[in-house]
Structure 1
């Protein structure tokens, strides 16, 4: 059965189930009658997104068993991200008790860090962390990023040049993992165990699969590390947050401090892995674009920004909830209904990026993509992700002038997750190192 046929059948099955539950997604909506079922393991995310955009600006979907509205187009997503009557606070979700436990959506919407806070609470939780991502602090971190990248390139150069190498596992993943460990302050004695668990979360592990048990073990280990760091201060974010808590105990509770550090460690590198992986794949399969970089006609920052637009590291991100009945782009949302942000779909919206929105082209003018969000919840780590990706791409493609893909894009397995958008591997033939 084709992906399109399977999606249609899943849609019919979902509509039948929702009807049995007494839920009518179309009543008074003027929406398309089909309810899309989002498949975390879809082999054609962008084809799914094409159909979602064609179905309307806000489309009824089922995501991991949860009925929601999907903001599919750029302008609609921008509205959703900034609308004063849409909140990330789960208390506004009318049917939150029906969310299946242990899913990716459940993990995100129940997070108690700044991720889901609003208003004064959000500012209280976000402000202490923002200092770690200032331009001055990131510039101080740049030499360490460059040195780590050089070590990874040296390690790649030791591998057989004519045998496939998985650059997601050997390059795109260890770089942001090590950087966020340095920034947060993960002790060396815990890094192997922590990395083994985070490898599974990032889907690069040879021994562990991502699972609720792995996620639980990762959180428990992070909690133990944070507790130990109380007595071993250093020049890192954990120490900064402990000092702030001692100075102003009302600013950050113990639970909030732990949740914040866990969020930064996990979210602070997994999405950057996807960004670097996606950029490598895009450039390897478009030699004309890579040549623009190698000849200096375009800067590597242009490749990073075009990747963020064209192949967002995040596919779908939950949730925002209608605080009251509202109407967006002709669609009425009832109070308490959840809205899913479709970041990958918005990046290829012809209404925003023109008829060639599905084409990767680093010569495009700077674009206002939404890959890092918008408004108060704009990603704090965006500047760090950009620096890491630019340094990584430049070092890789300068070191290996004959690098070539070792598999067709359509043969690469996607991540089995609703949230992330990338492939589980990025096999290449490196060729000899430049002399």
Structure 2
């Protein structure tokens, strides 16, 4: 039985996001938490309660309109998560503004465009696997640094036309934005830097557009002639570059960690008894790549799970906890079981804020994971599973690094 502490004080280091989700759940599927800086908020870790909140139009993501303390000046620039309130994109818009931004963005992010990326995604995978094949047998490498991060970052940067020399700096802003251990001064410096970099990139694309999503976003307009403002475009790019890299990186890392920690399931996968689709969906459920996402704000008092969340209070959706909700998935909710019949998860969101990049993320996972294990059938952890350190943030659910051995020569690509 978890110890009741209400409000639960969030561990800003993210030392164990699943243990923390269980502690929050001990207070109920909807309960109060305390964020860094002493800011009170609400956490939703129940599956059905999250579905209700994510589908409820009375929950806004616009802090400028609907976060009472922020709007009234009671949340200062020294709040460690201030970057999540200052973004200007579809995830911080409400109502008609959100619909407009989502439609404009979706015009550039079509299924056709994603499917057209398939050959290039495969080529990026093949290139990375070739680099790994050059590693000396038995050498310990960081899977996250050598495969899980460069793969989605190359894909998303190519999609948006980000030159190779700018990629590290532009992606760094998103990486730091989910680091909940930063000081207020570090947060402010990161916001200023990425804002400058993004505006410079947009200005360059405006002068010299190309065959990429950034140029498409610049050209996209509504039937009434409205377009993305520069601020909205910068915010949208920041959002899509970050969400196109970090969650996929975490999901790749989590999937490999889980499989190498469950050799019996890996054997069943190799024998064909279970499929990659089952493994991917179960890992998305059990190890959601985003742990605790800020923010939503009720535009009036809203009852969720028997709890009334007051108008204007900040709300976080606890995806890591939702995937392991025992009310939804029973007493084995925290166990990895690719054969379970109900693998329902909300790892890509739900309702009008569902991730528009989900088709690309799924394509990446469906191609990158099988290719890795086919090329390196002897892949193994270089440390004990329990020694793998967490990412160090309560917003994301990933690993600081994943030490592995490729264990001998790679199987030659056909």
TM-score between both structures, scaled by the size of structure 2 = 0.90
**Distance of aligned partners of 1:137 and 1:163 in 2 relative to their CA distance in 1, 3 Å threshold:** same
Q: How far apart are the structure 2 equivalents of 1:366 and 1:144? A: 33
| Shift of residue 248, structure 1, vs aligned partner | 6.4
Q: How far apart are the structure 2 equivalents of 1:392 and 1:163? A: 22
| Shift of residue 234, structure 1, vs aligned partner | 1.5
Matches within 5 A, 1:372-391: 372-391=348-367
Conserved in 1, the CA contact under 8 Å of 2:83 and 2:177?
A: no
Match of 1:50 among 10, 15, 22: 22
Question: Partner of 1:12 in structure 2?
Answer: none
Write out per-residue CA displacement over residues 275-328 of structure 1, whole angstroms, 9 at most, x where no aligned residue: 111111011101122222222233222222111110111111112112112222
Write out per-residue CA displacement over residues 338-378 of structure 1, whole angstroms, 9 at most, x where no aligned residue: 22111100000111112211111112235321111100000
Conserved in 2, the CA contact under 8 Å of 1:53 and 1:72?
A: yes
**Distance of aligned partners of 1:36 and 1:285 in 2 relative to their CA distance in 1, 3 Å threshold:** same
Query: Where does the alignment leave 5 or more consecutive residues of structure 2 unmatched?
Result: 180-185
Question: Partner of 2:374 in structure 1?
Answer: 398
Question: Partner of 1:413 in structure 2?
Answer: 389
Match of 1:79 among 52, 55, 66: 52
Question: Partner of 1:342 in structure 2?
Answer: 318
Does residue 1:255 correspond to 2:231, yes or no?
Answer: yes
Write out per-residue CA displacement over residues 199-242 of structure 1, whole angstroms, 9 at most, x where no aligned residue: 76688xxxxxx854345323322221111111222111111122
Match of 1:92 among 56, 59, 66: 66
**Distance of aligned partners of 1:201 and 1:392 in 2 relative to their CA distance in 1, 3 Å threshold:** farther
**Distance of aligned partners of 1:79 and 1:247 in 2 relative to their CA distance in 1, 3 Å threshold:** closer
Does residue 1:321 correspond to 2:297, yes or no?
Answer: yes
SS in structure 2 at match of 1:105: coil
Conserved in 1, the CA contact under 8 Å of 2:83 and 2:187?
A: no
Write out per-residue CA displacement over residues 12-48 of structure 1, whole angstroms, 9 at most, x where no aligned residue: xxxxxxxxxxxxxxxxxxxx76210111213222112
Write out per-residue CA displacement over residues 26-79 of structure 1, whole angstroms, 9 at most, x where no aligned residue: xxxxxx762101112132221121122122121110122320111121111111
**Distance of aligned partners of 1:163 and 1:200 in 2 relative to their CA distance in 1, 3 Å threshold:** farther
Between stretches 162-171 and 186-195, larger displacement belongs to 186-195
Q: How far apart are the structure 2 equivalents of 1:190 and 1:359? A: 41
Q: How far apart are the structure 2 equivalents of 1:38 and 1:198? A: 21
**Distance of aligned partners of 1:219 and 1:284 in 2 relative to their CA distance in 1, 3 Å threshold:** farther
Write out per-residue CA displacement over residues 103-145 of structure 1, whole angstroms, 9 at most, x where no aligned residue: 5632123211001112211111011221343222211101111
**Distance of aligned partners of 1:335 and 1:183 in 2 relative to their CA distance in 1, 3 Å threshold:** same
Conserved in 1, the CA contact under 8 Å of 2:142 and 2:401?
A: yes
Question: Partner of 1:27 in structure 2?
Answer: none
Q: How far apart are the structure 2 equivalents of 1:233 and 1:129? A: 17
Q: How far apart are the structure 2 equivalents of 1:246 and 1:335? A: 32
Match of 1:61 among 30, 33, 38: 33
Matches within 5 A, 1:27-38: 34-38=6-10
The total of aligned residue pairs comes to 400
| Shift of residue 261, structure 1, vs aligned partner | 1.4
Superposition RMSD on alpha carbons, in Å? Answer: 2.3
**Distance of aligned partners of 1:248 and 1:348 in 2 relative to their CA distance in 1, 3 Å threshold:** same
| Shift of residue 254, structure 1, vs aligned partner | 2.0
Does residue 1:167 correspond to 2:143, yes or no?
Answer: yes
Matches within 5 A, 1:16-415: 34-65=6-37, 66-90=39-63, 91-96=65-70, 97-101=73-77, 105-191=81-167, 193-194=169-170, 212-244=188-220, 250-365=226-341, 367-415=343-391
Q: How far apart are the structure 1 equivalents of 2:24 and 2:175? A: 32
| Shift of residue 410, structure 1, vs aligned partner | 2.4
Write out per-residue CA displacement over residues 249-291 of structure 1, whole angstroms, 9 at most, x where no aligned residue: 5232221122111211122211111111111101110112222
Conserved in 2, the CA contact under 8 Å of 1:202 and 1:270?
A: no
